[in-house]
Amino acid sequence: MNRFLIATNSIKDENLNLTSQIEEYIQKQGGESFCILGDQTEEILYKLDSDKTFDCVIALGGDGTILNVSRDLRHLNLPIVGVNLGTLGFLTEVEPEQIFSVIDRLMKDEYELEERMNLYGHVIKGETNEIIAKDIALNDIVVTRAGFSRIIGLKVYVNGKVIDIYEADGVIVSTPTGSTGYNLSAGGPLVSPKTQLMIVTPISPHSLTSKSIVLSSEDEIVIEVLKMRKAQKEEAIVNFDGQPGIQLSPGDRIVMKRAKSVTKLIKLFDVTFYEVLREKIANHF
């Protein structure tokens, strides 16, 4: 590969110093590059020549940058290599000092591709039974309390059968990739990103027995918002990979299942998920 799209978090790459060095290095090696910044991805790409193609995306930032790239550039179906300018960086395999040797390897096609499962979800309005929103997430789909709600009631179905009713701050439905994110903070299990499954984890449940549930990737999950307070119209919010939330009222439902699309991550080093996990968490704490 020799055509690179560079997606940079300009807050983390101050003055675009590393971005400029990468662009200059790629050009010296006979490659081509094009840089886009943060939330400008969609706007700028639509202005590009329709014949302009790329071989991969170099994402400079943290895990949030990779999530944004996966979201905004999904229609290009490009593999992503992440350069860690953040803190933990479970998705960003490359450290800044390694990037130039990594570019050499990419140009020689010395890498592997790892496909990560995505979640698809759509929101059904309870009053009209209409789909009012739909989206895809690499990490998770999260239903949480809205406004000044104390706790919310959420009825969870799997393949049409009720598996639990939670009175809680919310519920996380996570992919294996997202198991190291909000799911981990809420006490959910860590799973290998190579697996194909979904994790349902309640957030601060008002119960002594509520635990995470691990489900098959072939299952369909539905979360229904229950009425908890007479005076409050909007009980909850749903968001996809931390994007701005969609307001939910009692009777609204979120239907979730494995998405048809996958996110392709470039793997360059022979390091297992468990080694990365041990190193990242040990260094962070």
Q: Catalogue the active-site residues.
A: 63
What are φ and ψ of residue 220, in 5° steps? -115, 130
Query: In whole angstroms, what is the distance from residue 116 CA to residue 9 CA?
Result: 22
From edge to edge, which strands make up the β-sheet containing 197-203? 213-216, 197-203, 170-174, 140-145, 236-240, 246-248
β-partners of residue 112 are 267
- In angstroms, the CA 185 to CA 164 distance is 21
Q: What angle do CA 46, 239, 168 make, to 5 degrees?
A: 175
Q: By the 8 A CB rule, do 188 and 199 touch?
A: yes
Radius of gyration of the chain (CA): 20
